[in-house]
C-alpha cells in the first residue's frame, strides 16, 4: 500500500479528532523514525515525551517479549512477580509511599482527584470540597481531568463538568491564596507546565504553594505526567526544588511506549483509599509493568539523568544562540530536556517544514516550539537538530 492509501483508510474509519501530519510512520531506531517510504526523521518529540529510551531498544524489547511469552494480564485480583517490583521502583523514584497503576495520564489524574476528595471526606465528612487548578494547565480529556484543565476551549462543549474546581494564575502565589476557602482540599499543578507553553514553576511559587498547603491542610498534587521520569534531570521535577507533593501523577515516559500511568501518594493520604473505592481492569497488568520495571533499570544502567543534565545544558546554549540570531524568537525557557522556544509568529509552518526536512518537532500552543526528545540524545543530535531547524526558518 502507498502512504496515501494508508491515510485514506484511516481517515475513512476514524472519528476525526486529530489533524494528523500526512506521514505514515513505520519503525524507529534510537532517536530516528522512518516512514513507509523509508524517509528518515530526527525525532525531537519522542511521541510527546514518551519514548525516553529511544526506539527499538533491545533490552527493553526483550523484556517485553519475555513477559508476553509468560503472561500479559491477570486482573487486579491477583499478584504477579513484576507487580511489587515495579511498584517499589516507582515509590523509590518518586519518594511516595504507595502507588496505583493506571492506563494513561488522564486516569492518573482521575485517581488523584478521587484520592484527594476521599482524604478530605474522611477528615470532615463534607461532600463539597474544592480543588484549585491553574490557568493554561493541561491534565487530560476525561470529564474529571478536563474539569481541572485550565483551557475554556477544551471544556466549553462538554459542560457540565465536575463541580468544585476553581482556577488560579500559575506562578502567581497571591492568585492561589485568594482562591483558598475552608472547602479547599487540593491544589493541582504541573511542576513544569507543558501544553500551556513550557513554563517551569518559579522557586518562589512552588515553595509558596507548598507552605499554603501545609498551613491550611490542603493536599499538593504535582502532575508530572510530562515533566517526570528524568526529563528535567531529576527523576521527578519537584526534586529540583527540594519540595515533595502529597500526591504525584505520572505517565508518558513511565512505560516508554506501553500505555501505563500511575498516581502515588504519601502514606497518610494513600490510606484513604480502601478496597471498593477505585479500580481498573487493565491498569498495571504484567505486560506494562514488565516495561516499567525495565525502564527504571535502564535509566540507572544508562545513566539517563547524567545524560539529561549534560545534554540539556548544551541544548539550552544552542537554543539561546538561535534566539540571539533570529528576531522572531522571543524567549527560550524550560528545564532539562523539556524546552520551548516562544516565537512572535505561529510555529505550525516551521513544524511542517521540519517534517519536509526530516525533523520531528511539536508545538505547545500556537507560538511555541516544544523540544521533548528521547532522553538518550547526544550533543551531536542537538547539532543535527539545530542545523535542520534553521532550514525551516527561511
Ligand X SMILES: *Cc1c(COP(=O)(O)O)cnc(C)c1O
Tell the smallest beta-carbon distance from residue 106 to ligand X (Å). 3
Handedness of CA 237, 296, 305, 317 (dihedral sign): negative
Determine if 138 is a binding residue for ligand X (CB under 6 A): yes
Closest by CA position to 199, among listed 334, 319, 68, 83: 334
Q: How far is CA 188 from CA 21, 68, 117, 350, 394, in A?
A: 33, 36, 12, 33, 41
Closest by CA position to 197, among listed 364, 369, 373: 364
State which residue, 200 or 388, has the beta carbon closest to ligand X: 200
Number of Cα atoms under 13 Å in the Cβ half of residue 10: 16
Look at residue 167 and give its three-state secondary structure: strand
Task: Kindly state the cell numbers that stand for 371.
Answer: 523540544
Tell the smallest beta-carbon distance from residue 176 to ligand X (Å). 18
Tell the smallest beta-carbon distance from residue 135 to ligand X (Å). 14
- The CA distance from 241 to 231, in Å, is 15
Closest by CA position to 154, among listed 136, 169, 171: 136
Tell the smallest beta-carbon distance from residue 236 to ligand X (Å). 13
Tell the smallest beta-carbon distance from residue 259 to ligand X (Å). 8
The correct pick among 54, 105, 264, 340 for binding ligand X (CB under 6 A) is 105
Q: What is the dihedral of CA 384, 387, 388, 390, to 10 degrees?
A: 150
Give the binding range for ligand X (CB under 6 A) out of 25-33, 136-144, 171-179, 314-322.
Answer: 136-144
DSSP tag of 254: G
Name which of residues 235 to 254 contact ligand X (CB under 6 A). 251-252
Q: Distance between the two ends of the chain, CA-based, in angstroms?
A: 34
The correct pick among 104, 133, 171, 367 for binding ligand X (CB under 6 A) is 104
Handedness of CA 190, 195, 200, 205 (dihedral sign): negative
Tell the smallest beta-carbon distance from residue 142 to ligand X (Å). 8
Task: Kindly state the cell numbers that stand for 34.
Answer: 522512518
Interface pattern 49-88 for ligand X (x via CB under 6 A): ----------------------------------------
Interface pattern 286-325 for ligand X (x via CB under 6 A): ----------------------------------------
DSSP 15-77: -------S--EEEEEBTEEEETT--EEEESSHHHHT-TT-BS-HHHHHHHHHHHHH-S---TT
User: Which residue has the CB atom at the shortest distance from ligand X?
Assistant: 105
State which residue, 63 or 262, has the beta carbon closest to ligand X: 262
Determine if 374 is a binding residue for ligand X (CB under 6 A): no
Determine if 263 is a binding residue for ligand X (CB under 6 A): no
Name which of residues 194 to 233 contact ligand X (CB under 6 A). 194, 223, 225-226
State which residue, 253 or 308, has the beta carbon closest to ligand X: 253
Tell the smallest beta-carbon distance from residue 173 to ligand X (Å). 21
The correct pick among 139, 210, 294, 381 for binding ligand X (CB under 6 A) is 139
Query: Where do contacts with ligand X occur on this chain (CB under 6 A)?
Result: 104-106, 109, 138-140, 190, 194, 223, 225-226, 251-252, 261
Amino acid at each position: 500500500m502507498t502512504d496515501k492509501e494508508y491515510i485514506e483508510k484511516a481517515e475513512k474509519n476514524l472519528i476525526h479528532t486529530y489533524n494528523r501530519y500526512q506521514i505514515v510512520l513505520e519503525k524507529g531506531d534510537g532517536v530516528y523514525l522512518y516512514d513507509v517510504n523509508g524517509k528518515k526523521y530526527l525525532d525531537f518529540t519522542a511521541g510527546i515525551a514518551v519514548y525516553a529510551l529511544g526506539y527499538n531498544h533491545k533490552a527493553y524489547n526483550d523484556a517485553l517479549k519475555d513477559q508476553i511469552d509468560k503472561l500479559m494480564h491477570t486482573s487486579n485480583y491477583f499478584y504477579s512477580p513484576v507487580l511489587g517490583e515495579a511498584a517499589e521502583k516507582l515509590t523509590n523514584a518518586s519518594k511516595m509511599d504507595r502507588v496505583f497503576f493506571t492506563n494513561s495520564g488522564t486516569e492518573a489524574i482521575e485517581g488523584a482527584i478521587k484520592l484527594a476528595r476521599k482524604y478530605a471526606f474522611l477528615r470532615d465528612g463534607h461532600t463539597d470540597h474544592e480543588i484549585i487548578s491553574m490557568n493554561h494547565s493541561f491534565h487530560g480529556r476525561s470529564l474529571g481531568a478536563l474539569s481541572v484543565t485550565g483551557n475554556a476551549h477544551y471544556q466549553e462543549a462538554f459542560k457540565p463538568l465536575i463541580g468544585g474546581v476553581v482556577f488560579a494564575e500559575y506562578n502567581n502565589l497571591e492568585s492561589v491564596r485568594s482562591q483558598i476557602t475552608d472547602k479547599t482540599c487540593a491544589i493541582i499543578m504541573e511542576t513544569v507546565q507543558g501544553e500551556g507553553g513550557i513554563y517551569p514553576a518559579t522557586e518562589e511559587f512552588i515553595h509558596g504553594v507548598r507552605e499554603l498547603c501545609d498551613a491550611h491542610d490542603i493536599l499538593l498534587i504535582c502532575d508530572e505526567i510530562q515533566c517526570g521520569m528524568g526529563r528535567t534531570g531529576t527523576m521527578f521535577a519537584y526534586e529540583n526544588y527540594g519540595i515533595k507533593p502529597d500526591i504525584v501523577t505520572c505517565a508518558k515516559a513511565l512505560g516508554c511506549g506501553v500505555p501505563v500511568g500511575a498516581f502515588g501518594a504519601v502514606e497518610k493520604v494513600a490510606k484513604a483509599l480502601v478496597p471498593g473505592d477505585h479500580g481498573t481492569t487493565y491498569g498495571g497488568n504484567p505486560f506494562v509493568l514488565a516495561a516499567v520495571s525495565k525502564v527504571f533499570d535502564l535509566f540507572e544502567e544508562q545513566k539517563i539523568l547524567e545524560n539529561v543534565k549534560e545534554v540539556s545544558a548544551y541544548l539550552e546554549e544552542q537554543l539561546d544562540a538561535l534566539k540571539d540570531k533570529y528576531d522572531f524568537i522571543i524567549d527560550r525557557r524550560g528545564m532539562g530536556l523539556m524546552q520551548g522556544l516562544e516565537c512572535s509568529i505561529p510555529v505550525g509552518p516551521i513544524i511542517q517544514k521540519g517534517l519536509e526536512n526530516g525533523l520531528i518537532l511539536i508545538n505547545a500552543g500556537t507560538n511555541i516550539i516544544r523540544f521533548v526528545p528521547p532522553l538518550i540524545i547526544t550533543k551531536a543530535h542537538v547539532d543535527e537538530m539545530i542545523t535542520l531547524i534553521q532550514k525551516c526558518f527561511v
